[in-house]
């Protein structure tokens, strides 16, 4: 082999060695085994911002002994779930190094502008730490990166599912429920008319049923159950907004209780993008968003939806 070829081979070997050193995951013995977040204590976190790529961040803040959504007028959040997530984050170690190159960040979904989740943690001393939660490399293997650092690590402590990018996943989504035993009548008013239901023993009946009409018991019971227990997708706050459409609601549900009192649920028009509808329950200070299914269930119902059709009665 000529001297020139020997030099070329030597250069190639060096390049391969460098590539392996940069891209090959290091073993636990080779890598630093400390925590990803230095000087981090879950109890010292006062605010969390969770951002899913392309969406507005969800902000969670500590208030007293609990957690709230400050952008929704301090709607109560699930403190247990938040503290569990912070505990998982504190357990992330740097013993499974995947790469040291910035060029790999987008592919692993931990880039500054291409990520699965971005967590911004504000501590009680006012400082912040940011962590990118990226793609999964299999069971027990999620890519994570500390903001400002090039290294990407694998962890089995946390996944993007632990860091929800939707407000509804950080709260109890039950907006309200009323006891069935205390409810004696339900009415639904929408653009298709007013439909009144009354309790008769253990069954519910549509009022003003004509002799030629047969009630669909399943449909009636479904609407009544929906009216007595409503779940939200997210809280909106305590102030009405014009775009909620509640000044002239698309549907009004009235619940009559055994003591003669009434409670109401106002439902706005469902959004064209399928994101749901705004709603307001008379016994809650909060406006909320309900799912597209729930909104349309109140807004689009017609009288025929509560009746058995001729072909059904002949079966």
Gap between the Cα atoms of 32 and 199, Å rounded = 68
In this predicted model, what pLDDT tens digit does every residue of 61-101 receive, in sequence order?
Answer: 999 999 999 999 999 999 999 999 999 999 999 999 999 99
Range of the domain at 208: 174-313
User: Alpha carbon of 283 to those of 178, 211, 228, 256: distances in Å?
Assistant: 11, 38, 13, 13
Handedness of CA 34, 36, 39, 42 (dihedral sign): negative
Residue 302 confidence (pLDDT) above 80: yes
Q: Are residues 159 and 197 in the same domain?
A: no
Q: Please give the pLDDT value at position 87.
A: 97
In this predicted model, what pLDDT tens digit does every residue of 147-194 receive, in sequence order?
Answer: 999 999 999 999 999 999 999 999 999 999 999 889 999 999 999 999
Average pLDDT, the chain: 90
- Does any domain span residue 64? yes
Q: How many domains does the chain have?
A: 2
Q: Are residues 219 and 237 in the same domain?
A: yes
Q: What is the DSSP letter of 303?
A: G
Q: Please give the pLDDT value at position 261.
A: 97
Q: Are residues 85 and 123 in the same domain?
A: yes
Pick the range with the lowest mean pLDDT from 2-6, 48-52, 102-106, 264-268: 2-6
Residue 215 confidence (pLDDT) above 60: yes
Number of neighbours of residue 240 by Cβ within 10 angstroms: 16
158 by Cβ neighbours in 10 Å (0-12 / 13-18 / 19+) ranks as buried
Q: Are residues 96 and 159 in the same domain?
A: yes
The C-alpha torsion from 160 through 166 and 170 to 174, rounded to 10°, is -140
The number of CA neighbours under 13 Å toward the Cβ of 155 is 28
The CATH number assigned to the domain holding 214 equals 2.60.40
Residue 24 confidence (pLDDT) above 70: no
């Amino acid at each position: 082999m000529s001297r020139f070829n020997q030099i070329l081979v030597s250069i190639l070997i060096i390049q391969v060695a460098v590539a392996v050193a940069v891209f090959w995951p290091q073993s636990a013995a080779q890598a630093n085994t400390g925590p990803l977040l230095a000087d981090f204590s879950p109890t010292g976190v006062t605010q969390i911002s969770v951002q899913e790529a392309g969406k507005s961040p969800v902000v969670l803040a500590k208030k007293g002994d609990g957690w709230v959504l400050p952008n929704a007028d301090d709607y109560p959040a699930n403190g247990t779930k938040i503290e569990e997530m912070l505990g998982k984050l504190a357990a992330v170690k740097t013993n499974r190094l995947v790469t040291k190159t910035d060029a790999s960040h987008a592919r692993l979904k931990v880039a500054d502008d291409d990520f699965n989740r971005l967590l911004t943690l504000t501590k009680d001393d006012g400082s912040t730490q940011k962590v990118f939660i990226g793609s999964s490399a299999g069971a027990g293997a999620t890519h994570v990166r500390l903001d400002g650092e090039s290294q990407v690590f694998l962890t089995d402590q946390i996944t993007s599912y632990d860091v929800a990018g939707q407000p509804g996943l950080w709260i109890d989504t039950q907006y309200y429920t009323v006891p069935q035993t205390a409810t004696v009548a339900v009415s639904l008013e929408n653009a298709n008319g007013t439909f009144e239901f009354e309790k008769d023993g253990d069954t519910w009946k549509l009022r003003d049923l004509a002799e030629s009409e047969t009630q669909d018991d399943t449909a009636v019971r479904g609407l009544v159950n929906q009216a007595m227990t409503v779940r939200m997708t997210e809280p909106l706050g305590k102030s009405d907004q014009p775009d909620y459409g509640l000044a002239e609601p698309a549907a009004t549900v009235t619940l009559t209780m055994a003591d003669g009192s009434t409670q109401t649920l106002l439902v706005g028009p469902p959004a064209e993008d399928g994101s749901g509808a705004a709603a307001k329950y008379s016994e809650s200070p909060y406006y909320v968003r309900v799912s597209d299914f729930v909104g349309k269930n109140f807004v689009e119902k017609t009288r025929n939806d509560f009746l058995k059709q001729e072909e059904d009665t002949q079966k």
